[in-house]
Structure 1
Amino acid sequence: MSRVPDPLIIGRVIGEVVDNFFPSVKITVTYNSNKQVANGHELMPALITGRPRVEIGGDDMRPSYTLIMTDPDAPSPSDPYLREHLHWMVTDIPGTTDASFGEFPRLQFRGRQTVRPPSSRDCFNTRRFSADNGLGLPVAAVYFNAQRETAARSRR
C-alpha cells in the first residue's frame, strides 16, 4: 500500500514555516463565495484580493485560535528576501467559528489580545511568533500558490 505524500510537506509549509504537527481541527478557507482553497492549488491573484471566508470546525468552543496568513517566499520564490511576509493575523477566534474576516489592510487583534503584536510584517517568523506567545503547534493549515498575472498585451 502506497502512502499519499502530505501536501504541506511537499509545499514546504511543514519544515520552512511550521514544525510537523497532527491536524486536529478542520479549517476551510473560501474566496468569492465559491472557490475553496485546497493545499497546493494555484489561485489567480485577482481571485484572492477579496475577503476570505474562514470556517474553523471543532467539537469544543473553549479553545481560541490565532489565524495567520503569511507569504513564505515573498516577494518571489527566486528571491525571498522578505521571508515570511505577514499579510494578516486574527487572534482569539472562538472554537467552532464560521466567520468572514474583512480585508486586512493592517493587523487585526480581537478579543483578549493574548498575543503580542509582531514588530514587523516583513521577515515575520510563524514558528518564532508561536513560541514567543505560547501558542504551541498548529492545529490546522491550508496553503495555496499564487503567481503574478501577466498583463494583457495590447494589439496595434
Structure 2
Amino acid sequence: VDPLVAAHVIYDVLDPFTSTVPLTIGYNNRLVRPGAELKPSAVVSQPRVDIGGNDMRVLYTLMLVDPDAPSPSHPSLREYLHWMVTNIPGTTGVNFGQELVIYERPEPRSGIHRMVFVLFQQLGRGTVFAPDMRQNFSSRNFARQYHLNIAAATYFNCQREGGSGGRRFRPESSQ
C-alpha cells in the first residue's frame, strides 16, 4: 500500500497522483522518508531539497503543509502552510526558486502531525502567487487556482519533543 494512502495524505490533502519527478528532502543530512519521525528540534531550519528531472525549463512549486493543525483530533486550521517556494527549475533545488512564504518550523503542541511536502509542476515562471493566510490553506484549491499538477509528495510525522508513540488510524469501516 502506498504510504501516502495509508497515512491518509491522499484524500485528506491530495488527490491520487503518479509521481513524475524525483524529490529528495533532507534535514541535517537525514532524508525524509514517508512516515519518518522527526522532532521539532530536527526541523528548525528549512531542509535541503533536490528536484530531479532532466529539463531546467520546467518549473516547480514546493509547499510544506500540516493537515493536523492545531491537533489531529480537531484539525480546525487544516491545512497550515509552513513553507512555499515557487519557480524552482527542474534538476535544481529550492535555493534556485523564489520563497513566497518563509519557512516556519513545525512545532506541534499535541498529537502527531503529518507534515506534507508537495511538489507541483507550474505552467510557467511567475504564474503562482502567495496565499493571503497560512491557516485553512487548501493544497487542492491552490493547485486548481494556479493550474498546478502534482509531481511528487512525501511526508514525515512530527510531535512535541517529549511526545512518544506512533500514528494510529481508524479502520476504513468506522469513518
**Alignment of 1:98 onto 2:93:** yes
2:39 pairs with 1:27: no
3-state secondary structure, aligned to 1:139: strand
TM-score normalised by length of structure 1:
0.83
Partner of 1:127: 140
Aligned residues: 140
The sequence identity of aligned pairs, in percent, is 51
Residue 54 (structure 1) aligns with: 49
**Structure 1 position 118 matched with structure 2 position 131:** yes
Seen in structure 2, the aligned counterparts of structure 1 residues 23 and 112 have a Cα distance that, compared at 3 Å, is: closer
Q: Which runs of 4+ in 1 moved over 3 A?
A: 98-101
Gaps (5+ residues) in structure 2? 103-123, 164-175
Task: Return the index of the structure with the highest Cα Rg.
Answer: 1
Secondary structure, in 3 states, of the residue corresponding to 1:8? helix
Q: Larger % of strand: which? A: 2
Residue in 2 that maps onto 1:6 = 2
1:154 corresponds to: none
Residue 145 in 1 paired to residue 139 in 2? no
CA deviations on 1:58-108 (whole Å, 9 max, x unpaired) are: 12222100001000111111221100000010011001013458xx8x715
Q: 1:135 to 1:42 in 2, by over 3 A?
A: same
Residue 51 of structure 1 and its aligned partner are, at CA, apart by 2.2
CA distance in 2, matches of 1:100, 1:75: 29
Quick one: distance in 2 between partners of 1:79 and 1:100? 35
**1:116 Cα shift?**
2.6
Residues 66 and 125 of structure 1: CA distance in aligned 2, closer, same or farther (over 3 Å): same
